[in-house]
Amino acid sequence: MFVRQLNHYSKIAWDDQTRDFYSVDSSSYILKPAVVAFPRNERDIIMILRYATKNKISVTARGAGTGLVGSALGKGIILDMMHLNKIKVGPGYFEAGSGVLKGQLDKELEKRGRFLGPDPSVGPFCTIGGMVATNASGSHSLKYGSIIDNLIQVTIARSSGSVITLPNESGISRKILKLLKPEIQLRFPQVSKNSCGYRIDKIKAKSDLQKIIVGSEGTLGIIISAKLRTFRLPKEKLLTILAYKTMKNAVSEVPEILKLGPSAVEIIDRNIVKHVNMRISRKPNCLLFVEFDENLTENKKNIQKLTSGKIIKMIADEGKIKQWWSIRNLALSYSLKSISKEEIMLPAIEDATVVVEKLPVLLNVISKLASKYKIKVIVYGHAGNGNLHIRPILKRGNSHTIKKIASEFFLKVISIGGSITGEHGDGLARSEFVKLQYGSEVYSIFKKIKKEFDPKNILNPDKIVTRKTTITKNLSLSRL
């Protein structure tokens, strides 16, 4: 019945084929929606939200479905934001609809000699709305910041159907600012990347209120459009590929490398290196990618003096640099090549972040878990940000240990001052652990914020704020 009524407000689909397609994203979860809506404009979104609130139906916004933790899955109405695809480029910024693909944006910015700093490995296939909703980062966020560092303004539709622009709107801003106490900032991990919970630690004044939407995964409002900072394209680059005997050797050197001011410092382990189809005399146990986009002559000398690793490549050609970055960006695909039919890749613990000086400690934690549970582990990620993507491989018969391993790992990460997620978000995989990350006092503020924006709890319920355990519910072993 409600499907027919909803048809008045937007193009919708509820056939099994469409619902099956939108029941999955790039995670290992399956959650079949009741209906999928394709709003054409802001008015369509407002009407759908008013209808959903009146009838207590959940609404989950979806970009390109590239998320890794099930953030864009829901059992009510899925909003595919593809038609909100307008772009306006200004001096040092752009404004884009939430459905704009990053690849489409990149082409427009490149014409003007500009680029967006955050660059997730999925590259052109993610949307601006999805990037804001998860606080996307990527390899070059080391120098250019995550989305939260670059968002100037955001327009959202609340569950009531009211449309607000932050930080301009004053009513809700005053209410949120009253909830924030200076000591709350100290409860957040002091890391360079964090996509866990609501980032109230980044709000110092009313002019920062737009940042509360970053990483909120559509739980506070439906992102209609965003205004973000851009940067001038570098005139030249130098990518150095360093080989190390062990991961610990590599990460121990990262703090000193960071003093040189690189634009990116990335790492891949031997499980990925062995699949690399590039001419390397002997496949090393670990590769470090260090890129500079200024002071190249000086930095070339500095990295040669500093590193204990073996320099296997120093590349200045833009085309060849892109080839090597494609290897790093395909790390997850290479990881899957290391899995047999009898094995599965454990979700949830793939995105921990610590201060870079604690990376050797994080590797020790991973090693002990691997030994205790008799699992092999694939590791790669953003070493310069202390953000490692950890991919444990389990035997299919041991899937019952997923939550146990995740709980133990998260406790260790938190104990060394880290975040359980640096850039992928909470979603179905980690929302039940948000309270563990921050404690009761901060979590109670999260709940108040959620209620202020979404009093009826229809916007992507059970993401970030939840009483449910969702790490293994709706998890499909066939997709692991």
pLDDT for position 169? 81
Q: Looking at the chain, how many residues does it have?
A: 480
- Average confidence (pLDDT) over 262-289: 87
- Cα of 3 vs its chain's centroid, Å: 32
Mean pLDDT confidence for 434-451: 97
How many angstroms separate the CA atoms of 95 and 151, rounded? 10
**pLDDT of res. 399:** 75
Residue 255 pLDDT greater than 80, yes or no: yes
**Residue 251 pairs with which residues in a beta bridge?**
none
Tell how far CA 410 is from the center of its chain: 17
Distance linking the first and last C-alpha atoms of the chain:
36
Q: Please give, one letter per residue, the 3-state secondary structure of the chain.
A: CHHHHHCCCCEEECCHHHHHHCCCCCCCECCCCCEEEECCCHHHHHHHHHHHHHHCCCEEEECCCCCCCCCCCCCCEEEECCCCCCEEEECCEEEEECCCEHHHHHHHHHCCCEECCCECCCHHHCEHHHHHHHCCCECCHHHHCCHHHHEEEEEEECCCCCEEEECCCCHHHHHHHHHCCHHHHHHCCCCCCCCCCCCHHHCCCHHHHHHHCCCCCCCCCEEEEEEEECEECCCCCEEEEEEECCHHHHHHHHHHHHCCCCCEEEEEEHHHHCCCCCCCCCCCCEEEEEEECCCHHHHHHHHHHHCCCEEEEEECCHHHHHHHHHHHHCHHHHHHCCCCCCEEECCCCCCEECCHHHHHHHHHHHHHHHHHHCCEEEEEEEHHHCEEEEEEEEEHHHHHHHHHHHHHHHHHHHHCCCECCCCCCCHHHHHHHHHHHHCHHHHHHHHHHHHHHCCCCCECCCCCCCCCCCCCCCECHHHC
Which tops the pLDDT comparison, 61 or 281?
Answer: 61
Whole-angstrom Cα distance, residue 82 to residue 385? 31
Closest by Cα among 429, 384, 154 to 262: 384
Q: What is the pLDDT of residue 240?
A: 98
Is the predicted pLDDT of residue 287 greater than 90, yes or no?
Answer: yes
pLDDT of residue 281: 64
Predicted structure pTM score? 0.96
Name the token pair of 225: 């459009």
> What pLDDT is stored for residue 275 in this prediction?
82
pLDDT of residue 95: 98
Residue 282: the pLDDT is: 73
Which tens digit of pLDDT belongs to each residue from 224-254?
999 999 999 999 999 999 999 999 999 999 9
Give the mean pLDDT of the chain. Answer: 94
Answer whether residue 1 shows pLDDT above 60: no
87-232 CATH fold: 3.30.465
CB 180 within 8 A of CB 200: yes
pLDDT at 266 over 90: yes
Quick one: pLDDT band at residue 339, thresholds 50, 70, 90?
A: confident
Residue 362 has pLDDT above 70, yes or no: yes
Report how far residue 179's alpha carbon sits from residue 203's, in angstroms, rounded to the nearest whole number: 11
82-115 confidence digits (pLDDT tens): 999 999 999 999 999 999 999 999 999 999 999 9
Name the pLDDT band for 277 (thresholds 50, 70, 90): confident
417, HSE (Cβ side, Cα atoms, 13 Å) = 12
Radius of gyration of the chain (CA): 22
pLDDT of 2 reads: 58
Percent of the chain whose pLDDT exceeds 90: 85
Tell me which of 77 and 476 has the higher pLDDT: 77
Per-residue pLDDT at 84 = 98
Any idea which of 140-149, 259-268, 386-395 has the lowest mean pLDDT? Answer: 386-395
The predicted-structure confidence for 130-139, as pLDDT tens digits, reads as follows 999 999 999 9
pLDDT band of 3, cuts 50, 70, 90: low
For residues 217 and 425, the answer to whether their CB atoms sit within 8 Å is yes
State how far the Cα of 66 lies from the Cα of 272, in Å rounded to an integer: 21
Cα–Cα distance measured from residue 66 to residue 112, given in angstroms and rounded to the nearest whole number: 27
Asked if pLDDT for residue 47 goes beyond 80, the answer is: yes
Pairing of strands 163-166, 264-269: unpaired
Per CATH, the number for 238-336 is 3.30.70.2190
pLDDT bin (cut points 50, 70, 90) of residue 358 is very high
Confidence of residue 274 (pLDDT cuts 50, 70, 90): confident
Residue 124: predicted pLDDT: 93
Contacts of 200 (CB under 8 A, 6+ apart): 176, 179, 180, 184, 212, 442, 445, 449
- Which residue bears the tokens 């050197």? 253
Q: Of the given ranges (4-8, 89-93, 369-373), which has the lowest mean pLDDT?
A: 4-8
**What per-residue confidence (pLDDT) applies to 342?**
85
CATH number, domain 2-80: 3.30.43.10
- Write down the domain spans for the chain: 2-80, 87-232, 238-336
Token pair recorded at residue 474 = 């709706």
pLDDT in tens, 409-437: 999 999 999 999 999 999 999 999 999 99
CA-CA distance, 133 to 196, in Å (whole number)?
Answer: 11
CA angle, 246 then 249 then 254, to 5° = 130
- Cα distances (Å, whole numbers) of residue 95 to 110, 225, 349: 15, 7, 34
pLDDT of residue 4: 61
pLDDT digits (tens, 9 = 90+) for 156-212: 999 999 999 999 987 888 899 999 988 888 899 999 999 999 999 999 999 999 999
Buried b (16+ CB within 10 A) or exposed e, 83-92: bbbebebeee
Which residues, other chains included, contact 178 with Cβ-Cβ below 8 Å and sequence gap of 6+? Answer: none
User: pLDDT, tens digit, for every residue of 117-134?
Assistant: 999 999 899 999 999 999
